[in-house]
Each structure stands twice: as structure tokens, then as C-alpha cells.
Structure 1
């Protein structure tokens, strides 16, 4: 075993304080640093550019994703924008999925509408459509796998290989699985994006993003632009994020265990029309999920088999599941994408992506699974009373 590669001391900041021997690294909240002398700066000069606390969390995330470096930004959306502004020039073409997270869709569409970049939305999980889109010679191909909220999975090694052949950059949003269940850089991706707000932090108390790469030339460009446009993360969020990551694996495996049991429960419900989860054989890309993922994750979506009034009653009756946006926290959340995370997308665009008005997305937490099932059972029974 390569002990130096595995040791936690190098990558998570533990036991690095030489002054007092702090087990947990201190927070460096200073915005600026003194110069040694005239024209002689230290390792750090201004915290927008570089900060000791941020360096620790960036090294940790890079290690988790098998990259050589990472940039932690002030949100997941700013991480995506950082990649775009760094790598593209006006008029360049971006290929992205039509079933991606609503905020990502909104960003790409707004850049298209301002005539800054060309953007082509496609059915990403269809290989024929994907290969046809590559003929347009894009500079960037942005992929979610699994996608949010329909959890469609694509053949990442094949896709990344094809993107590389035309000299484009592949960017994979790995938020829904985290480094615990998938490592896109190992599968051939050039860049990996995370909304650190979600699983990496895991406690729904900060907003942050990250972009990771294994290529020095890309990393240097990203660092320069992150400082240039000032979207680096706050130091206090860096500290909280590092704390959250220390429980990442145990949180994810517990949440996934709960998820599989909830899926078995949902399969038996008459008010559930269809379930979306990579573990299911009928799920788009299930065969690829088995090959490229180390787990299936803790996000479930399902089609509610009833009217809008019944759906409303169901959501109002839940007590343990909180009706809220976001995902990946220790608490269980339920979301109605059409009126929440994807409300920025037109009805026509949602239908093209397969997102219906009766679709619900669950982010399964780490509570007692029987309590969660009992909560769902109570809500389903309340709906039966108005059928």
C-alpha cells in the first residue's frame, strides 16, 4: 500500500499546526499579509487570491477527486461560470444537457441570449444525438451524470474519449454522487464540478462550489481567473466545509442504505407511477452506472400518480421530509422541481427534458429509515382520503 498517498495528515489539514500542535487547523481570517520587505512578498499576500485555510480545503477536495488541484468558489454556479470564462472566447460553442439542474440551464441559456457564447442543448443520454452534436466542434461539453432531477446516466468513459478526440474540454458535474461514489477524472474528464453546498458539506449551512482538474495548464488558468473575477470562497465557509467533509463517507453510505429501502417501499405504492434511481434496471444508463459508479447515490425522483390537489395534500402532510430546494444534507428533503429548482425553465423546455408537473425529488438523509417510511406512509394515506 502506498502509505504516503493514503495518509489523512497530508490531505485534510489534521496535525499540521507547528506553533501549538492544534489537531484541527486554525482559521486564517486575515484579508491581507505583510510583505517581508520592499518587493518581497510572502507565500500569501491577499486572501482573495490565496489563503492558508482555503488551500487546505482545496487540497482535500483535489485529493478526493484524484486531481492535482482544486479551486473552491463562493457557489456551485460560480464554479461553472469560472470554467466558462476561463476556457472560452466570445462565440465559442457549449454543448450541454437539456435535463440538467435548473440553475445550470438558466446560466447557459442566459449566456446564449446575451450572444456571449453559442449554446446547444441536447438529449445528452442519447449517444447518437451526442455524437451528432460533436460534429458542430464545441469547445466545451458539460455533462451531469446522474442528471438532476431525472438521474439519467451516460457512458462517461466513452463520452470523455469522444470529446477529447475533437480537442474539446469535458466538464462533469459530480454533485449528485460526490467523490464517494464516482470519480470522473479517473473516467477521462478534464474538469469536475461540485456544488459543495450539497454532499461535500452535508449540513445545509453554507454555499460554496469547487472545480477540480488533473491538468496543470487548466489549473493555472482557473486560479488566475478565480482571483481576477473575485469568486473565491470565504474563509469561514472553507473551515465549515472541511469539517463537513470529515463525515462525508459515513453520511453517504448511511443515506444510500436508507434510499434503497425507501425505493423498495415506493415500488409498492399505487400513488407512485414511476421511480427514477440509477440502481433500477429500467433507469436510463443503469448499465453504465454499474460500471463507472461505486454506488447509486441517495437521490430519488418519482412521478406522483394523482392530481395536483392530491400532490399538494401529500406534501402538506409530510413532517420529517422538509419541502425545500437543495440536497445532500443530513436531513431528508423533498422538492417539486417544476415549481422550485426548475421554475426558471419554460414548460415546453421541461417537457422536452421529461420533467413533469407531478415529478418529485427526494434527497434522503441519515435519519432512522423506518421513521422516514412511516412519514411517507402517513402522507400517502392522507391522499387516499380525498381520492
Structure 2
């Protein structure tokens, strides 16, 4: 059989062989909860109950593992369900996790309001400062949780450097790769132990399905995560898996357009008098620009910017755009705009991870870039 190498080829074909019975080129939706057994314990293809495994979900998991250069993947009902499974599979009550000091609000809520009651302790640290990360390590540290680029401040972290620190501490490194997607960055090849996605975002790409995924290379670790997936039951259903698999086929071409558009928009915002600061790793003045060039294919479709007029100016921009839709989430073909402090990161208010009120985050879609620039400039007037 021909070996698949190119990313775009893997996205279309990995785990997606034509149906053996009909020749259908698109994997079927196996909308079933259970499977006929040919005898007690004699399973067809290893399937017995769809919480344990489903052929549509299996196809998605095989594809995602291939795209991240992993060997095992588990698909979940959401990105946070995937994150929860990782932490519970790796950590025990009383153990410790290092998280970014600008972590996604949903992750912060999970760590500090859910897992803390389970006995987990967390320390926020500036992950771009490797010395600070080393200083935050404790004897009971079992996991370093990394986002790169971060949400919403677009910080860049040295994945290989963090992986070395984690290994020295007998801990694991998990990387939330949602902002970059596997097309732009493959953390496992840089030394990470675990990759997590909210597949709701760029992987699915069409704002029509919620999901998550965990990808690893270690078989024993994969089994622990799969056990949690099976035992807790936060699985991706067959139709959601099918939608995500459909979306991933165009991930490469979509990401190229997201990046093209974002690079032009970031350059435009960077010279606008109403904008105090643009946070985009593709700009040479970004503190993580050189590192992003090293570990990413391109710089992504997410941009944050701070308004010279403060919070009220930021709110005004969010309310005035018409092509950029005021909405949470990101990574879809349509462009979105939001005010993190009052929307996606409201749970961080009053904590050391509080997001600046003058910050606006945009998810740059694949529309005509001149239309997008005009819409933003109108919003800034």
C-alpha cells in the first residue's frame, strides 16, 4: 500500500479508506449504540458498545493521530472534556500542575474550580520564561500544561525547552495546540508528551460541531486516557465525529488562507493610531516572533490588539463591525470578534490571570481580506 506522507494527503485519506462493502469514499456515520456479537466475546472488528468505540470515531481518531505525528488518539465531546481526561489520567489528588499565567479562561475554571476540589494544586507561571518554569516545579509536579500560542495574549512558548524541564522533573508536557492546529505546529515532534485540541475550532473549521481530542505516542499513556474516555463517557458521537472528519479534509488549505488574511490584517492594525499594541507572532516586533518562526509553519489566524482608548474603545469596536461577528469561539471559516475580559475570559476576572479590558480578540476567517480590513477600519473610526 502507498505510504501517505504529505499533510494534505493524510487529512483526506488517513483513517478514511473507501467502504469495503459499497466503495463509498466518505466514511459512513455509524449511528448505533451497540453491535451484534458473533459469540460471547467474539466481536466484529473489536466493536461492542459505542461508548467504548465507534467506527466513525475510530476513523477520526486515526486521522488526527496521523496529522499530529502520533500513534494514538481519543476523540471527546469537547476540548475541556479532553483536557479533563488528560489531567485525571496523569495526575492524582494532591499532585501539582503548572499552567500558563495567561491560560484560556475555560482551562483556568477547570483547574481552579473543578479539579481543585479533587485535590489538584496549580501554579500559574510565565511559560515563555523557562527559568520561571523551573522555579515553579515541585516534587509533586506531574504535568506542565502549555498553550502556544496562548489564548488570548498570543504568547509563544519554547515547546522543546519545556519538554526538557518536564522530563527532568519526571513530569509530562501537554500542549494545547488549538490555536496553531496540526497544520502549523506538531508539538509531539518537538518533545511534548501529549497534544490536546478543541476540535471545535480549526480542525472542524465550520462552527457546526463541538469536540475535543488527545493525541500521544506512548501506548501506556494512550491506554490510560482511553480508559478515562470509556469510564467517564465524554465521547465524541458518530455524527460529531463525521462532521469533524469532514472539516479536517480542508484544514491545510483553510489554514493557508487564515494565515494570509491574518498577516495582512495584523500589519494594518499595527500602524493604526487607535491601536496601542497588536499581539500577533507574525509581526517582527512580537517577543515570540523568532521562536514562532522556528517551531511553526506559519503564524496562524488569531490576532489580539489593545486599544489606545481603553476598554470603552474596545467595546465599541466589538459592537461596530459587521463582517466580523460578535461571538465566542474561533477557528471557523467566518471571522469573529470578541471582548475577552467580558466574554471568553470573564472567569479570570479578579485573579492574577485577569485579561486587560482594552483587549480585543479576532479570529480571522477566510473571507475576502479587503472586506475584512475595511470592516475593522470602520469599527475603529
TM-score (norm 1): 0.94
Listed as ranges, the matches of 1:313-328 within 5 Å are: 313-328=316-331
2:160 is paired with a residue whose SS is helix
Aligned to 2:25: 23
Shift of 1:280: 2.0
Q: CA separation in 2, counterparts of 1:345 and 1:69?
A: 33
**Which of 189, 196, 207 is equivalent to 2:199?**
196
In the other structure, the counterpart of 1:97 is 100
Instruction: Measure the CA separation in 2 of the matches of 1:198 and 1:39.
Output: 38
Any idea what the Cα deviations from partners look like across 1:181-204, whole Å, max 9, x if unmatched?
Answer: 000000000000000000000000
Q: Given the alignment, which residue of 217, 223, 226 partners 2:226?
A: 223
Say which of 175, 179, 186 aligns to 2:189: 186
- Tell me the CA shift for residue 3 of structure 1: 4.3
Q: Is the 8 A contact 1:350 1:356 kept in 2?
A: no
Q: Are 1:178 and 1:199, in contact at CA under 8 Å, matched by a contact in 2? A: yes
Aligned to 2:53, the other structure's residue is in SS state coil
Cα distance change of structure 1 residues 310 and 147 upon mapping to structure 2, 3 Å threshold: closer
Contact (CA 8 Å) 2:144, 2:171: kept in 1 or not?
Answer: yes
1:304 is the counterpart of 2:303: no
Alignment of 1:344-359 (within 5 A): 344-351=347-354, 355-359=355-359
Q: Which residue is equivalent to 1:384? A: none
Structure-2 residue corresponding to 1:139: 142
Is 2:176 the partner of 1:177?
A: no
How far apart, in 2, do the equivalents of 1:109 and 1:209 lie? Answer: 20
The separation in 2 between residues aligned to 1:63 and 1:39, in whole angstroms, is 30
Contact 1:74-1:207 within 8 A present in 2 as well: yes
Instruction: Name the CA shift for 1:143/1:308 in 2 (closer, same or farther; >3 Å).
Output: closer
The answer as to 2:81 corresponding to 1:78 is yes
Which sits farther off after the overlay, 114-123 or 24-33? 114-123
Question: Is residue 318–residue 360 contact of structure 2 (8 Å, CA) maintained in 1?
Answer: no
Secondary structure at the residue paired with 1:143? Answer: strand
Alignment length, in residue pairs? 376
How many Å apart are 1:115 and its aligned residue? 5.1
Root mean square deviation, CA, Å: 1.6
Counterpart-to-counterpart distance in 1, 2:321 and 2:43 = 57
Over 3 Å counting, the alpha-carbon distance change for 1:29 and 1:114 in structure 2 is same
Q: In structure 1, what is the Cα distance between the partners aligned to 2:139 and 2:275? A: 40
After superposition, the Cα gap between the structure-2 partners of 1:23 and 1:360, relative to the gap in structure 1 and judged at 3 Å, is same
Pair 1:369 & 2:369 matched: yes
Question: d(CA) in 2 for partners of 1:251 and 1:25?
Answer: 22
> 1:246 deviation in Å?
0.7
Instruction: Work out whether residues 95 and 140 of structure 2, in 8 Å CA contact, stay in contact via their aligned partners in 1.
Output: no
| Secondary structure in structure 2 of the residue aligned to 1:302 | strand
Which structure 2 segments of 5+ residues have no match? none
Residue of 282, 294, 298 corresponding to 1:295: 298
Deviates more, 1:204-213 or 1:135-144: 135-144
Q: CA deviation at 1:87?
A: 1.5
Measured after TM superposition, the shift of residue 315 of structure 1 is: 2.2
1: CA distance between counterparts of 2:17 and 2:291? Answer: 37
CA shift at 1:371, angstroms? 0.3
Is the alpha carbon distance of 1:24 and 1:138 closer, same or farther for their aligned partners in structure 2, counting shifts above 3 Å?
Answer: same
Cα distance in 1 between the residues matched to 2:78 and 2:36: 29
Bigger shift: 186-195 or 165-174?
Answer: 165-174
Post-superposition shift, 1:101? 0.6
**Secondary structure, aligned partner of 1:334:** strand
Q: Secondary structure at the match of 1:96?
A: strand
TM-score, L = length of structure 2: 0.95
SS at match of 2:109: helix
Which runs of 4 or more aligned residues in structure 1 lie more than 6 Å from their structure 2 counterparts after TM superposition? none
Confirm or deny: 8 A CA contact 2:314 2:359 kept in the other structure: no
